[in-house]
Structure 1
Amino acid sequence: MQTIENSLLQVSVDENGAQMVNCVSQNDKFDYLKSQDGQEKVAVAFPAIDQEKNWALELPWTVVDKGDSRVSLTLIDTEESYKYFPYHFEVVLTYALEGNQVNVSFYLKNNSHKEMPVSLGVIIPILAGFTPSKDLNKIQLEGVNNHQVTVESTDFELEVNENQILAKNHELNLAGDSSQNFAVSLTLS
């Protein structure tokens, strides 16, 4: 488990799945991921949300950079993943705290010489007591005791789906030997 913090937030990230498992306000110790039913998680989906194999959950992530307020993990293809998804790839996921924001950024690299069809996704739980309202590239959650979460991205399409927010991109084709960056931010108050 990796923990990062600043004067406003403390975030814990589980290397297994690169999931954010705690997001706690330093001021009142409110955990934005704790529900009445237990601890929720912010999950990652790669190469797609609806695919049978989610390499983000099945392959090991390795911490490649760590500071007080940021942590970066990498996911690299294996012989096993290549059998199902015949591409060589690297995903670097960074959680970084800036004030009351958690910035989640991805660096996706296609190490194959051929075009790779792919999509990325971030699955953010909506906890009981939070009510979503959607704007173009922003979803705001009004919650209990004046707590609020705003999810924003210009790289991902944001969608409210039952009890979660999906930040996803439609399937894209990443050219061989190329890379692309994606980001989503959560502003907590």
Structure 2
Amino acid sequence: MQTIDNSLLQVSVDENGAEMVHLVSINDNYDYLGENGTEEGMAIAFPVLDQGNNWASKLPWTVVDKGDTRVSLTLIDTPESYKSFPYHFEVMTTYALKGNQLKISFYLKNSSHKELPFSLGFILPNTWQSQSSVNKISLINEEHGIDIVSTDFKLTAEDGKVTAFTDKIELEAESSRNFEITLTLK
């Protein structure tokens, strides 16, 4: 388990799946992911949102950078993954705190000599009321709130979860791309 914090927030990330399991307001010790009986964290999905083919949950992640307010983990293809998903890839996920915001960035590198088809996303459990607009979802309960904002992901709030995902994309051979999402706690 990797923990980062600043004067306002504390985030815990499980190396298994690079899953954020706690998002705590230091002011009132409120865990945005662990209150109201939810024990789920924020799950990452790559190369598809189908959990049966989700290498983000099946392959090991490695911590490659760690500071007080940020942690980066990387996922790299293996001979086993290559058999069913014949591409060489690297996904780096970085959690970075600044004030009352948590920025989650995803760096995807295609090391193959052919286009890599993929979708990328994350799933956040949600038992709160939600309001949606084009690039923003606001989650609110009696005393707390979170704004989730991204221009790189489609955001939806339904069926007890918030999903941020990309449509299927073709990443050119030997290229890379960045994706970001920001959570602002209120």
TM bucket, shorter chain: over 0.9
Which structure 1 residue ranges, 5 or more long, are not aligned?
none
Secondary structure of the residue aligned to 1:176 is coil
**In structure 1, distance between residues paired with 2:182 and 2:101:** 7
Equivalent residue, structure 1, for 2:98 = 98
Secondary structure of the residue aligned to 1:144 is coil
1:36 is displaced (CA, Å) by 3.0
1:38 is displaced (CA, Å) by 4.0
**In structure 1, distance between residues paired with 2:54 and 2:148:** 23
1:39 is displaced (CA, Å) by 2.0
Equivalent residue, structure 1, for 2:122 = 122
1:125 is displaced (CA, Å) by 1.2
TM (norm. structure 1) is 0.96
Is 1:3 aligned with 2:12? no
Equivalent residue, structure 2, for 1:35 = 35
Equivalent residue, structure 2, for 1:154 = 151
TM (norm. structure 2) is 0.97
Cα contact 2:38–2:125 (8 A) shared by 1 = no
**In structure 2, distance between residues paired with 1:25 and 1:107:** 27
Structure 1 vs Structure 2: percent identity of aligned residues?
A: 58
* Residues 92-121 of structure 1: CA deviation (Å, up to 9, x unaligned): 000000111111000000000000100100
Is 1:44 aligned with 2:44? yes
Secondary structure of the residue aligned to 1:34 is coil
- Amino acid in structure 1 at the alignment position of 2:150: S
* Residues 129-176 of structure 1: CA deviation (Å, up to 9, x unaligned): x2001011000011122x001100000010112111110000000000
Secondary structure of the residue aligned to 2:80 is helix
Q: Which moved more, 1:31-40 or 1:68-77?
A: 31-40
Give the CA RMSD over aligned residues.
0.9
1:34-73 aligned at under 5 Å gives the runs 34-50=34-50, 52-73=52-73
Is 1:184 aligned with 2:165? no
Cα contact 2:45–2:56 (8 A) shared by 1 = yes
**In structure 2, distance between residues paired with 1:142 and 1:38:** 16
**In structure 1, distance between residues paired with 2:37 and 2:96:** 27
**In structure 2, distance between residues paired with 1:140 and 1:38:** 19
Secondary structure of the residue aligned to 2:93 is strand
**In structure 2, distance between residues paired with 1:118 and 1:35:** 33
**In structure 2, distance between residues paired with 1:77 and 1:65:** 19
